[in-house]
Structure 1
């Protein structure tokens, strides 16, 4: 097996492992209708469950990212995968609201520990995989795995919990067991390459902290839209298409759980297309431009979800998914290129903190929905992608560190000083 084929195999394994972990991010929202139906939680209560998954994850991901910047921690991949699965598996076995929050929070910590290290390993493999071109497409495939995990979560939860109730949630640990096994072959890849001298020294590059902060704020706005919509979408669609004018969360859940689950699947599954499309479009037009225009599409699509009547809302759910997911993997590599000296921290923030922090808005949306209506509470989400678009307009397209490395090697072969490559990066 050639080295490039081997790196492609590593990306494939990491992508499938990513899917197994992100099942547990998608499972939280997918469990919401069942918590409503069996435990009669209100909007504020179910948004608290989502918050429990997000809060510790939001704090922990940058910490894990900083740790992986200091030294590689490949053992985090199997351990964090198991934690993510065990937390969700136990969330339905107790009727206690406090224990449910604790188990969901445990799953959130597992997810937090997984992403920074997995993104670091995936970027290394992506740069050397066939068609690497800076790692954008490889990272898009890695992100695709997570999106497929999100998309599979409502189906898995509906099949397991829908068949026997919340008492069957322990069966949801199975993807975590599979993901743990899948990540084992790639755990020692970075160390083996360094030991063999396969990792060329990278030229130093200046961190662009200002651009990274703007990028992070854009991802926060994206996160508020995505987490807020995914938390309440199944209930909203159940009311619109299945529950008629039923008041409150219980009425909507009783009337149209299948319709709500279908909408959640569309929201997550569209991300699979969006992630791969984002990598391809970025090779042609650049990451910043592609991400910015995608957010304008998302703003129009979210408005369509909330305002267009009848089954046509499914089309707008699909457009919302594409608009929010096309920038997803691009934002990860942009963050890594804006902070080339702290790739783990950048991954922890763009792939973790700013994604999870959207859950902090959940209780506000839930409280507003309890006081008014679910549609009224969700309408402010239309503005969030517009803010992301505005922030992207202020961002430069960075020169990827591996491009600078290639220039430095070429300069050395011509007998020119390698610092020219570094100067190009600093000027970018």
Structure 2
């Protein structure tokens, strides 16, 4: 018998927090999002080699985010009805095909096609990965979701590092090394899948309706749940639009307007992403103690002063401010997912897909809009306009109180 299964079974029956499983699925999340980060890390390179405009770069980011995001609620809805552990390695296999294609894409359209494969692989992985986290969390759901999301944010953080050390010296063919990420992810998932299958056999769906659930459901009417979810998606949309603008275009702004080299322009992006990893982890811990709604409000609205001052800072001040901005902005990332799951008990996959999927897909529209605006008016003006987006976080005061079990 698989040792993971024999050791996991008694703990699962007592609903303890399964840290070994959490760290394994978090590491796969890191590998998955690193493959997505390869795309944005390539932008400074393919902008020159394939002669792409800012609008075309925006369309590539749009294709990645839309395929990886819009499909998530669909996959989540299907897997809520019939969970499928095999989808985890299957999604990683699609990403493997996409990364291999990305390394040899000779034109804008073939680049776009390869990116779609990476996006679809990610869309399949995320809802099932969130369900694994739900089973492994025990009573520490904020912490568990943070561990999972820290993996993903750490993968995104590697984009500027890959630009500096891999794509600058090796160019586009260097992407082929990314296939090792997919292969590693598949091997890890082959150990997670048997444990996940055992949980499904023992417990079925993550949340079953009961008298307690019915009582809890009476607290929030369907209308209030729809309102809260809609408002939450708007908030995540504003955050992801701003996040996309910084992650996709700020490096180009630093190169074109601040005179930094392609490699040097990656350092502020790295600090922003690193701050996001720290914020994601501690945001989950703080939410377990002080509440989900408070952390969501703090994360988006609290980051707005730093976002507003960023376009006007001298170079020396950019580094500490963008690091602090990343910490605060991403501190509500995992919290938003848990809040949505508690609004929709029994629909973990769908709730996760709506927040990490559909809402970020809406934010992908921002990549196209910002790219087009950058071609027309200059990316410096676009970054000034987008700095007002985090102010939307003030709307979080309208969210209903936490709905914890």
Same structural fold, with TM-score higher than 0.5 when normalized by the shorter chain: yes
1:196: Cα distance to partner? 4.2
Number of equivalenced pairs: 383
Greater displacement, 4-13 / 370-379: 4-13
Verify: 1:219 aligned to 2:219, yes or no: no
Verify: 1:137 aligned to 2:119, yes or no: no
1:159: Cα distance to partner? 2.5
Partner of 2:298: 293
Alignment CA distance shift 1:286-1:171 (3 Å): same
Aligned partners of 2:308 and 2:388 also within 8 Å: no
Partner of 2:101: 90
Q: TM-score, normalised by structure 2?
A: 0.89
Listed one character per residue, the Cα deviations across residues 152-193 of structure 1 (whole Å, up to 9, x for unaligned) are 233234322222211222111111111111122121324313
1:202: Cα distance to partner? 4.8
Verify: 1:393 aligned to 2:397, yes or no: yes
Verify: 1:3 aligned to 2:11, yes or no: yes
- Runs (5+) with no aligned partner, structure 1: 244-255, 404-428
Verify: 1:167 aligned to 2:173, yes or no: yes
- Pick one of 342, 351, 370 that aligns with 2:356: 351
- Runs (5+) with no aligned partner, structure 2: 1-6
- Pick one of 363, 366, 369 that aligns with 2:368: 363
Partner of 1:151: 157
CA distance in 1, matches of 2:200, 2:52: 52
Aligned partners of 2:307 and 2:388 also within 8 Å: no
Partner of 1:272: 277
Aligned partners of 1:20 and 1:175 also within 8 Å: yes
1:394: Cα distance to partner? 0.7
1:99: Cα distance to partner? 0.6
Listed one character per residue, the Cα deviations across residues 17-38 of structure 1 (whole Å, up to 9, x for unaligned) are 1100011222222111111122
CA distance in 2, matches of 1:368, 1:337: 38
Verify: 1:49 aligned to 2:60, yes or no: yes
Partner of 1:325: 330
- Pick one of 313, 317, 323 that aligns with 1:312: 317
- Pick one of 343, 361, 375 that aligns with 2:380: 375
1:277: Cα distance to partner? 1.0
Aligned partners of 1:27 and 1:154 also within 8 Å: no
Measured on the aligned residues, the alpha-carbon RMSD in Å equals 2.0
Could you say what secondary structure the match of 1:258 adopts? coil
Partner of 1:35: 46
CA distance in 2, matches of 1:100, 1:224: 23
CA distance in 1, matches of 2:56, 2:208: 51
Alignment CA distance shift 1:76-1:236 (3 Å): same
Aligned partners of 2:160 and 2:269 also within 8 Å: yes
Verify: 1:339 aligned to 2:344, yes or no: yes
Aligned partners of 2:135 and 2:199 also within 8 Å: no
Verify: 1:70 aligned to 2:81, yes or no: yes
Aligned partners of 1:242 and 1:259 also within 8 Å: no
Aligned partners of 2:163 and 2:263 also within 8 Å: no
1:145: Cα distance to partner? 0.6
1:337: Cα distance to partner? 0.7
Q: TM-score, normalised by structure 1?
A: 0.84
Partner of 1:421: none
Partner of 2:286: 281
CA distance in 1, matches of 2:99, 2:326: 24
1:56: Cα distance to partner? 2.3
CA distance in 2, matches of 1:72, 1:21: 20
Listed one character per residue, the Cα deviations across residues 43-74 of structure 1 (whole Å, up to 9, x for unaligned) are 11211111111222332111111111111111
- Pick one of 218, 225, 228 that aligns with 2:245: 228
Aligned partners of 1:228 and 1:358 also within 8 Å: no
1:201: Cα distance to partner? 4.6
Aligned partners of 2:43 and 2:57 also within 8 Å: yes
CA distance in 2, matches of 1:3, 1:266: 38
Partner of 1:187: 193
CA distance in 1, matches of 2:402, 2:96: 37
Partner of 1:411: none
Greater displacement, 210-219 / 54-63: 54-63
1:304: Cα distance to partner? 2.6
Verify: 1:239 aligned to 2:256, yes or no: yes
